[in-house]
A and B are shown apart, each in its own frame.
Chain A
Amino acid sequence: MTVVDVDELSMSYKAPVRKGGLRAALGSLVRREYREVLALDQVSFSIAPGEVAGFIGPNGAGKTTTMKILSGILHPTSGHVRVLDSVPWQRRSTYLKRIAFVRGSQPVGGSQELTVMDSLEYQRLLYDVPRETFRRTLADLEALLDLGPLLERQLRALSLGERMRVGLAMALIYRPEVLFLDEPTIGLDVSAGGQIRAFVAEYVEQTGATVLLTSHYMADVASLCPRLILIDHGQVQYDGPLAELSARLSPYKLIRISAEGSADPSAFGDVVEAADGQWVLRVPRDEVARTTSQLLQAFEVVDLAVEEPPLEKVIDQAYREGLR
């Protein structure tokens, strides 16, 4: 059983093009030229109920386009999509009441002069939320998102972090079953980003909602998404567990070691970093156990840790070099 079902989804559009200069500009008045831009190319994946999937890729890969199609803002050129057994771009009320699309770049729509409470009240009417359920959910959201001090403030006067919290509250006040989160922590500081991540994790645990999340911040992906869908040039390049992607891209692990005296473990692996008596060695995955044992025998080890390579580096490598 799946909640989101995407099958051979393609999206292309025509972009007007012309050469520079007056002659080309005048020529385009008579005959316009277009270039076909392929935003999505035969994308297929599905998401099970309650699953949290990270949807990542470099800028222009097709992430937001896919999110817009799944939420119902765009209709594709070809392919089949079913979300909660509905065709999203038909935008039926029954469907729209079961999903939420939150964009970090525009977290709160509607009248900016209104207070947060007025906006939430409007959501209650719009989504037919019974008063008792509304009161209960609002109390939950107040606690989880620290909304109390914001309820009487006008939307236009909120900071970016506050707008994101309010945007989430407005999206979740009607308890959607599927949540599309597009860069929910964009522009937020470390604490605000962490607060949003903790909230999303808590919401998913409480409600069993299905989430598709895009983000350029690996902290979001690492902490929320057991499953990763990597898209590039409009095609799915990888779909699977995060750890597997890391292992596939980087056949090495990192051994971080501190030892007594003037220890020099450079003979045991490639030195990635060396400072203040601490060394970081890059070692092939299948040699980690043997190398660790040798290090423990050779030096008076104060501290030793085996780490996966930083996710940022793995993803960066995937973006630059691809997976094939």
Chain B
Amino acid sequence: MRTAVLLGFRLRQEVLEWSGAWWFLLTLVVQAVVAPLIGLFVWSAVYPDNSAIGRYYVAVILVTLMTESFEQHTFSERIYDGTLSHELLRPQPVVLGVIGSNLAIRAWLTFLGAPIVVLTGVALRTGFEWRSLVASVPYIVLAAVLVFLWTFMLSLTAFWTNRVHAVVGFGSQLIFLFGGTAAPIGFLPDTWRRVAEVLPFYGMNGLPAEIAAGTRDGGSLLYQVVWVVVLAAAVWALWRAGVRRYTAVGS
């Protein structure tokens, strides 16, 4: 209960904090939608008669906006400037603040990016079925958790290196390539497709988008849950090791 109250207050704080940087959030929205739009233009040109492609990429834009994570900025910088010490001395788990920032930014990106999603959908005359949209909700929630865990895990490398932005940038490229943004994974060569279906990135983007677009009836929630468990364990181990290092050396 106390954790929920603290998280709620932190979320409110972060929403307020980011409200002062709406112009910066707009640049983030643009960055988030550019890659799916390029994918949309390319694959629509390749398959002009396939209406599912437009629907799929509109869903990818929405999923991307709802799941974006920036822990390399919100968390890693605290390691670099030493303000993580403030967080360590607060009687609450540090991750609560990280989650608060994450949810606040996602809420703002979804709010500011919604017009782009609607405009793209209207321009392409894409129609979504309510049944598919409702069915995609648990997949989107798990995708949001997966992207957060993946980005947070890579951001934790800031305990060891000053080049965290390169590390997280590399991780984002993997999501772009294997997650279904560069191409719907059904369009990939067989071997690549099989690899992509096993890696966690498809569950971060392509799978929920396919369910929302109605191009796939059902997927395996278990596949996403397994990766949530694996990444959560990795985050926990890295956090423990990182804090041990931070508290041995200081800032």
Residues of A at the B interface (CB closer than 8 Å) are 13, 65, 68, 71-75, 89, 91, 93, 96-97, 101, 106, 109-114, 118, 121-122, 125-128
A125 to B83, CA, bound (A): 20
Which chain A residue has the least Cβ–Cβ distance from B249? Answer: A13
Question: What is the 8 Å Cβ interface bit string for chain B, positions 80-96, against chain A (1 contact, 0 not)?
Answer: 00110111111110000
Are B6 and A125 touching (Cβ within 8 A)? yes
A-B contacts besides A74-B248, A74-B250, 20 pairs, CB < 8 Å: A68-B85, A68-B250, A73-B89, A73-B250, A74-B247, A75-B247, A89-B247, A93-B92, A106-B83, A109-B86, A109-B87, A110-B86, A111-B16, A112-B17, A114-B13, A114-B17, A118-B13, A125-B5, A126-B90, A127-B91
15 A-B pairs with C-beta separation under 8 A: A13-B250, A73-B250, A93-B91, A96-B89, A106-B82, A109-B86, A111-B16, A111-B17, A118-B13, A122-B10, A122-B13, A125-B5, A126-B90, A126-B91, A127-B91
A106 to B249, CA, bound (A): 19
- Chain B positions within 8 Å of A93 at CB level: 91-92
Are B89 and A71 touching (Cβ within 8 A)? yes
Are B85 and A13 touching (Cβ within 8 A)? no
B98 to chain A, nearest CB (A): 13
- Chain A positions within 8 Å of B82 at CB level: 106
- Chain A positions within 8 Å of B86 at CB level: 106, 109-110
A126 to B248, CA, bound (A): 26
Q: Check A101/B91 contact, CB under 8 A, given A74-B248, A74-B250.
A: no
A195 to chain B, nearest CB (A): 23
Are A101 and B13 touching (Cβ within 8 A)? no
Q: Check A111/B14 contact, CB under 8 A, given A101-B89, A126-B6.
A: yes
Question: What is the 8 Å Cβ interface bit string for chain B, positions 191-224, against chain A (1 contact, 0 not)?
Answer: 0000000000000000000000000000000000
Are A114 and B248 touching (Cβ within 8 A)? no
A213 to B82, CA, bound (A): 21
- Choose one: B9, B85, B90; the contact of A96 (CB below 8 Å): B90
Is B20 on the interface with A (CB-CB < 8 A)?
yes
A97 to B92, CA, bound (A): 10
Are B89 and A72 touching (Cβ within 8 A)? yes
Which chain A residue has the least Cβ–Cβ distance from B19? Answer: A113
Are B89 and A125 touching (Cβ within 8 A)? no
A89 to B85, CA, bound (A): 12
Q: How many residues of B contact A (CB 8 A)?
A: 24
A121 to B16, CA, bound (A): 15
A72 to B246, CA, bound (A): 12
A110 to B5, CA, bound (A): 17
- Chain A positions within 8 Å of B87 at CB level: 109
Inter-chain residue pair count (beta carbon < 8 A): 62
B100 to chain A, nearest CB (A): 9
- Chain A positions within 8 Å of B89 at CB level: 71-73, 91, 96, 101
Which chain B residue has the least Cβ–Cβ distance from A103? Answer: B85
Are A126 and B17 touching (Cβ within 8 A)? no
Are B91 and A97 touching (Cβ within 8 A)? yes
A114 to B15, CA, bound (A): 10
B93 to chain A, nearest CB (A): 10
A79 to chain B, nearest CB (A): 14
- Choose one: A13, A112, A122, A127; the contact of B248 (CB below 8 Å): A13
A125 to B9, CA, bound (A): 9
Are A73 and B88 touching (Cβ within 8 A)? yes
A131 to B86, CA, bound (A): 24
- Chain A positions within 8 Å of B2 at CB level: 128
Are A75 and B88 touching (Cβ within 8 A)? no
Are B9 and A113 touching (Cβ within 8 A)? no
Are A109 and B249 touching (Cβ within 8 A)? no
A70 to chain B, nearest CB (A): 11
- Chain A positions within 8 Å of B16 at CB level: 111, 113-114, 118
Most buried by A among B20, B83, B86, B87: B86
A118 to B248, CA, bound (A): 33
Most buried by A among B2, B10, B13, B20: B13
- Chain B positions within 8 Å of A126 at CB level: 6, 90-92
A96 to B13, CA, bound (A): 22
A73 to B89, CA, bound (A): 7
A294 to chain B, nearest CB (A): 57
A127 to B2, CA, bound (A): 11
A121 to B17, CA, bound (A): 15
Are B13 and A111 touching (Cβ within 8 A)? yes
A113 to B87, CA, bound (A): 17
B170 to chain A, nearest CB (A): 20
A-facing residues in B54-90 (Cβ within 8 Å):
82-83, 85-90
A75 to B247, CA, bound (A): 6
- Chain A positions within 8 Å of B20 at CB level: 113
Most buried by B among A68, A113, A114: A113
A121 to chain B, nearest CB (A): 8
A172 to chain B, nearest CB (A): 14
A-facing residues in B1-53 (Cβ within 8 Å):
2, 5-6, 9-10, 13-14, 16-17, 20
A65 to B248, CA, bound (A): 11
Which chain A residue has the least Cβ–Cβ distance from B2? Answer: A128
Are A91 and B17 touching (Cβ within 8 A)? no
